[in-house]
Amino acid sequence: MGVRFYRQRPLGPYILDFYAPKAKLAVELDGSQHYDDSAQQRKDARRDAWLNAQGIRVLRFDDRQALIETEAVLEVIFQAVRDGTAVGIPPSPPLAKGGEDSQPMTEGSLPFIKGGQEGFEGASNPPRSAK
């Protein structure tokens, strides 16, 4: 998946079953007491709210579901990792009015490619090859 998961990872006042910091993802495997006890459900809701406030997404699975439907559980986790590690497209460099570069390339500028050959626009001497 390209990320490391830590087991029984302390974070703030909680210990997470599994945590992937790079994806900002917590995976909790819950036993039946998490579903049968309303007090435990309230604790889980507070815990999830605290983790969400830290920017961490929480996935909860019933421990039996993880054993019986392992492939489906893993697919949900894989998708959450992809979502958590997706990199946005960086903004384009600023252009002058009309879409033209504001300053032409010069000898002190970065090289550009023109007609398949590297060169410097407006330079009297082409760049020297590195030895």
Name the class of domain 6-85: alpha beta
What's the first-to-final CA gap in the chain, in angstroms? 41
The predicted model gives 81-100 an average pLDDT of: 61
Residue type, 30: D
- Residue corresponding to tokens 């421990």: 63
- Sorting pLDDT into bands at 50, 70 and 90, what band is 85? confident
Burial class (CB in 10 A: 0-12, 13-18, 19+), 89: exposed
Would you state the structure tokens that stand for residue 71, as one six-digit string? 């492939």
Range scoring the smallest mean pLDDT among 26-30, 41-45, 83-87, 108-112: 108-112
Structure-block tokens of residue 62: 């019933």
